[in-house]
Amino acid sequence: MRTAAWFFVMTLALAACTPAGDGASPGDGAPQGSGGDGETVEGSVRVALGDIEGVETLNLLIALERVRERGIDVELTEFAEEDLAAEAVLGGQADVTLGAPYAVIQETGAPIRIICQLQTLRFFAIADAEAYPDWQALDGETFTVHSRGSGTEAMALLVQQEEGIEFGEISYVTGAEVRATALLQGNVRATFLDIPNWNFVQDEAPDRFHELPLPDIGATDEAFVANTEWLAANQEVAQVLLEETLNTWNSIIEDPNFAAEERERLGLAEDLEPELEEQIVPYYEQAGAEGVFATDCGGEEAARTDFEFYSLVEQVEGDPASLNVEDFWDLGPLEGALEAAGSN
């Protein structure tokens, strides 16, 4: 009898932990405004960011602040990792996150969809200049990437195909900043780095490393990913989110000073150290020139590119050509946002 009572209590406890199945969210049932062309829209969005406030996330913070200025209640929660942020959306604690969760959507059938490509993968292949003057010199040598199954491993596999070489070993070191330090310490001799860390390595050891050419990949690094129930009930909020994001991206590409000016005006990321503050404009200048920011949300073409690219590391299973974009993406808000921005 006591055992049965114990089981009953545990079952109740588990049921209490289960996310609400009706998809109730703060935005549900809220009256929606007309939206578009800078008009205010009523509603709310809870954004889960798997990163911290800094130079590289400043553009997103600006976009979200501009969404707030359109009358939408934006709640931003920061998580230590992208995976945790995605799990917050799956668990119903957030409506939108950033990432490229193809494997999660395919493996779990999770009710989330990608609604806009924000940034494409832009890494630099950095190698010891003396030991590895070109890709051929890395044939049979060790190359270091982020982790097994990551975008950087897919890039390494792509380089092998394109250059007709085979790395002796692909080793894994998590985090571009750790790989940058390892390069300087001599633990790693060839790897992928992002813009800030490649700049850091160049500052520390100006002539020791060089950049090897990479094919234009164009795969998604960051995309807005939304809960489908929230999306169905908040189409206008989603559209405003994309409109303001695209406007911010375009403004930054046009004038990288925009990021620093908007930070000042909106009082964002106020805790940045002076040396990081100085990096804002150069970073956005470089990122804009490198084509990091997607100014059309990517859409079907980006989805097809991602299928091909992420299937290299089995993040997407099956024949890439036969996969349905609609199984991973919801193109509705994207089309509306492009139309509103007059870019379509």
Partner 1 sequence: MTGSGLAAPAVGAGRRPGAWGGLPRAARTWLLRAGSVVAVLAVWELGGRIPVALTFPTFTATAGAFGGMLADGTFAGAYAETIGPLLVGVALTAIGGVAAGVAMGLSPKAEWLGVPVFVILQAAPSAAIIPLITFIYGIGFAAKVFAVILLSTPVIVLNSYRGIRNTPVSLVEMSEAFLASRWQRIWKVILPAASGLIFAGLRLGLAQGFTGAVLAELLITPTGVGDLITFYRSQAEYDHMYAAILSIIVVASVTITLLARLEQRVFRPELRTP
Stretch that binds partner 1, among 85-93, 131-139, 253-261, 273-281 (CB under 8 A): 85-93
Closest to 59 (Cα-Cα) out of 254, 325, 306, 316: 254
Give the Cα separation of 194 and 182 in Å (integer): 14
11 binds partner 1 (CB under 8 A): yes
Helix (H, G, I), strand (E, B) or coil at 48: strand
User: Is residue 87 part of the contact set for partner 1 (CB under 8 A)?
Assistant: yes
From candidates 26, 30, 54, 106, binder to partner 1 by CB under 8 A: 106
Using the rule CB under 8 A, which residue among 91, 133, 140, 215 binds partner 1? 91
Tell me the one-letter amino acid at 227: N
The candidate with the shortest Cα–Cα distance to 136, out of 159, 157, 153, 158, is: 159
Site mask for partner 1 (CB under 8 A), range 116-155, x = bound:
-------------------------------xxxx-----
Q: Cβ contacts of residue 251 below 8 Å, gap of 6+?
A: 258
To partner 1, the closest distance from the beta carbon of 11 in angstroms equals: 6
Which member of 6, 69, 265, 318 binds partner 1 (CB under 8 A)? 6
List residues bridging with 224 in a β-sheet. Answer: 98, 116
Between the alpha carbon of residue 57 and those of residues 141, 259, 279, the distances in Å are 35, 10, 13
Residues 96, 89 contacting (CB under 8 angstroms): yes
Given 90, 129, 137, 157, the residue binding partner 1 (CB under 8 A): 90
Give 62-79 as a DSSP string.
HHHHHHHHTTEEEEEEE-
Q: Does 221 bind partner 1 (CB under 8 A)?
A: no
Count of alpha carbons within 13 angstroms of residue 254, beta-carbon side: 8
Beta carbon nearer to partner 1, 6 or 213: 6
Nearer to partner 1, 31 or 109 (CB): 109
120 strand-pairing partners: 220
* C-alpha 18, offset from chain centre: 28
Nearer to partner 1, 67 or 190 (CB): 190
Distance CA 142, CA 128 (A): 12
Point out which span in 11-19, 55-63, 115-123, 159-167 binds partner 1 (CB under 8 A): 11-19
CA–centroid distance for 111 within its chain? 18
- The secondary structure of residue 342, as a DSSP letter, is T
Binds partner 1 by CB under 8 A, chosen from 143, 315, 334, 341:
315
Q: By CB under 8 A, is residue 314 in contact with partner 1?
A: yes
> Nearer to partner 1 by C-beta: 18 or 322?
18
Site string for partner 1, 27-46 (x = CB under 8 A): --------------------
**How many residues bind to partner 1 according to rule CB under 8 A?**
39
Residues at the site binding partner 1, with contacts judged by CB under 8 A: 3, 6-7, 10-11, 14-15, 17-19, 83, 87, 90-91, 101, 103-104, 106-110, 147-150, 171-175, 178, 181-182, 185, 187-188, 314-315
